[in-house]
Structure formats: structure tokens, C-alpha cells
Amino acid sequence: MTTSTAAAVSTDLSTRYLGLALPHPFMPGASPMVDDLDMVRRLEDAGAAAIVMHSLFEEQIEMEQGRTLYDIESNVNVFSEASSFFPRPAEFRLGPQTYLEQIRRIKEAVKVPVIASLNGITATGWLEYAKLIEQAGADALELNVYYVATNPDEDGAAVERRTVEIVRTVRQAIRIPIAVKLSPFFSSLSHFAARLEAAGADGLVLFNRFYQPDIDIEELEVRNELRLSDSSELLLRLRWMAILSAQRKLDLAVSGGVHTPADAVKAVMAGARSVQIVSAILKNGPQHLNALRVGLSRILEERGYESLAQMHGCMNLSRCPDPAAFERGNYMRILQGWRP
């Protein structure tokens, strides 16, 4: 094991996330960084409070078991060519078995908690992997339910019900904590969050990033290009963090748009228990985790906070009698405030 390069800080930055006692809130979010054990060690050395693995996809598991996702759905005819949209098994960095092995390897390589990630949309057999992930030693599990609802016959309630069913199924199968990584595109996110909590979710990760394909107007092709985030993406997270942390007991993690210590302060003030970083680490290297932690500590000291706990949720909407009216008022104020 290499010597830790994480600087010591004097402020109490400790937090609890998914039942895990963490020295501070910063961790690398789900990304391929975890495929490289040397990188995982560097992340721990830079002070990562936990390691979040990238996702194992439902489609990968279904393909391994000789089925495609759409073969097992009732709308098989409509989507008969749909399986050709997915990457082939060899294109994934880790297959289902090697994913489980990688959990074991990471657990051996580092001391910090490891959060695995399953990514899918149906409450079916593939979820057996939750149990295997637990057995491989993961300390917690993220369920990523990335889905773009395009079926005109499926209403929003059906989409939500499926996710609730996934959480319920996994909750019954495993004992480790579960977080659900959500998209912001639900018509009543507060209600949905309450249902997920009731189904057994211990946390929510706000939010999935939607990588929208672009159009190449010369080649008439869809262009899939991953652009890293910037701090402007944080604002949507802050809004929902402030609303949901005032309403729910489950732990909230922010994912998306945290690049600076001030970004992290805003997320914690809005109610985040943990702060997941991907783009900023990919741009600046693992030591960015260290810089964020030192920067956060400095801001707390400068502003006279004794601990992160003292700051937690201080800007959420717990004292707001009507969050919907507050948001509508802000919206009108922003529009009226525009000056050419």
C-alpha cells in the first residue's frame, strides 16, 4: 500500500451515508476509474471516503444468460431489432463475472467502503446479481434506473411502479444499504422519493446525468459524445436536494456538477450527506479529492462552523411552509429580474 497523500484537516468533516461512517463526504462517483486497481489505490491515497464502482447493466446480465432484455418483454415484436442498439458483451469493460471479481479485488486493495452499482429497469431475474454483489463484499449498492420513457401507452405511474418494485425486490434479497440513482425527470419527485423510501431505499443519488445524443447534420447520424460536466449542472441538484432533504429521512448524495469546494458547500447546505465527483477527477486527477476536502475545511473554518454536521441542510426548505409556492415565486422573480 502506498503512503497516503491526503492532507490532514482540523475541521470535523465527518458524515454518515448509507449507514457508513465516513471521515468526510467526498468520493469518486460511478465511473470506469475503478477498473484500474492502481487508480483505485490512488483515489484512496487522495482521501476518497468510499469508492463507487461503475454499473453492471441489466442488458449485460441478460445477454450472458442468453436472453436479450427485449426478448423477455411482452412488446417483443415492436422491439425485435432493439437488441442491436446495445453494445456487444466484449465492448463492456467488465462482464458480470469479472465485475464480481473486481469487487473482491478492490476490497482487498483498499480499506474504504466499496459501493457497487446495478443499472437496469425491470424487477426480473437479473436482480439476483444484487445478492452476488453483496456476497462479493460490497458495502452498499447503488441502483441506477436510467430510462427514457417513450412508450405512449405507459403512464408515469407505471414507470415509477417498476422502480419501486426493483427496490422492493433487492431490499428483500440483501442486507447491505441501497441507494437509488435517479433522474430529475419525474412529474412528482417528492412523492416518488417517499415511495422509494417506503420500499426500503436507504439513500438517493441526485442525479443521473442524461447524455443526450447530438445530430451530425453532414453525415445524418446520431453522435454520441460524452461531455464532462461543469458547475452549472449543480443547480438542478441543489433545488431537489433542498426540497427532498427537508422531507425525507433517507440519505442524499449529490452527483453532477461538483467541481469546487464552494460547490460542495452548497450541496451540503442543501442537504447532501455525500458528494460524488467524476468529471472534476477525470479533468484534474485523483488529487482533486484532496483539494476539495482541504478547501471545504477552509471554508468551514473561515465561516466559523465547528463541523460539517452544523452546516448540513442549513439551506434546505425545512422551514418553508410551501416549497412549491417558493419555487414558483423564485421562478417569477428570476424572469422579472432580467435587464437587457
Ligand X SMILES: Cc1cc2nc3c(=O)[nH]c(=O)nc-3n(C[C@H](O)[C@H](O)[C@H](O)COP(=O)(O)O)c2cc1C
Q: 9, 30, 141, 265: which one contacts ligand X (CB under 6 A)?
A: 30
What span, in angstroms and rounded, lies between the C-alpha atoms of 47 and 60?
A: 32
- In the complex with ligand X, the residue whose CB is nearer, 160 or 233, is 233
CB of 324 to ligand X, least distance (A): 27
Question: What is the H or E stretch that residue 61 is in?
Answer: helix 58-64
Tell me the CA distances in angstroms from 235 to 220, 232, 266, 277, 296, one per residue in order.
33, 6, 9, 15, 18
Q: Does 248 bind ligand X (CB under 6 A)?
A: no
Q: Does 114 bind ligand X (CB under 6 A)?
A: no
- In the complex with ligand X, the residue whose CB is nearer, 112 or 317, is 112
Given a contact cutoff of 8 angstroms between Cβ atoms, the answer to whether 58 and 284 are in contact is no
Q: Does 286 bind ligand X (CB under 6 A)?
A: no
CB of 31 to ligand X, least distance (A): 4
Q: Does 29 bind ligand X (CB under 6 A)?
A: yes
Q: Does 181 bind ligand X (CB under 6 A)?
A: yes
CB of 208 to ligand X, least distance (A): 6
Q: Does 163 bind ligand X (CB under 6 A)?
A: no
Q: Does 54 bind ligand X (CB under 6 A)?
A: yes
- In the complex with ligand X, the residue whose CB is nearer, 180 or 317, is 180
Tell which residue, 218, 177, 217, has the closest CA to residue 200. Answer: 177
Burial pattern 145-183, b for ≥16 Cβ within 10 A else e, equals bbeeeeeeeeeeeebbeebbebbbbbbeebebbbbbbbb
Q: Does 257 bind ligand X (CB under 6 A)?
A: yes
Kindly indicate which of the ranges 85-93, 275-283, 305-313, 322-330 contains the residues binding ligand X, using the contact rule CB under 6 A.
275-283
Q: Does 55 bind ligand X (CB under 6 A)?
A: yes
Write a three-state SS string for 72-128: HCCCCCCCCCHHHHCCCHHHCCCCHHHHHHHHHHHHHHCCCCEEEEEECCCCCHHHH
Which positions lie near ligand X, rule CB under 6 A? Answer: 29-32, 54-55, 117, 119, 144, 181, 209, 226, 228-229, 233, 255-258, 277-280
